[in-house]
Amino acid sequence: MYFDSEKKINSDFDLDLIEITKESEKTEPFYNVVLLDDNDHTYEYVIEMLMEVCGLSKKSSYEMACEVDFLGRVVVYTGNKKEAERKRDQILSYGPDWRLERSTCSMNATVEITE
């Protein structure tokens, strides 16, 4: 197959290809929900909250609880901006850990664009 610059190419096909290319360039970026560590919530709280809010298994939730405890932060969800903000808001409104008297609020989480 060769390209002949003199030959007229089907313009409908070209326009469709251009539109597909433009749409693929406009894809929305992904966002991470990052859970931040504190000393006012137990492992049990973190595990239960992640299972409920993010739909994670007990094992995955435990692993993330360990990671946030050791590293100070862990990505608990990646997706579109609207869903990431919804998950963050669910974490922020989950409530205090009833197991600890000093726990007066939910854990903290942020939304960050992926790189």
Domains of the chain, by residue range, sit at 38-113
d(CA 96, CA 11): 62
pLDDT exceeds cutoff 80 at 17: no
CATH number of the 38-113 domain: 3.30.1390
The whole-model pTM stands at 0.77
Tokens representing 111 are: 């939304």
Question: Dihedral through CA 32, CA 37, CA 38, CA 39, nearest 10?
Answer: 140
d(CA 106, CA 34): 14
Q: What is the pLDDT of residues 22-80, one digit of tens each?
A: 555 568 899 999 999 999 999 999 999 999 999 999 999 999 999 999 999 999 999 99
Residue 30 DSSP code: P
Q: What counts of helices (H) and strands (E) characterise the chain?
A: 4, 3
H/E element holding 55?
none
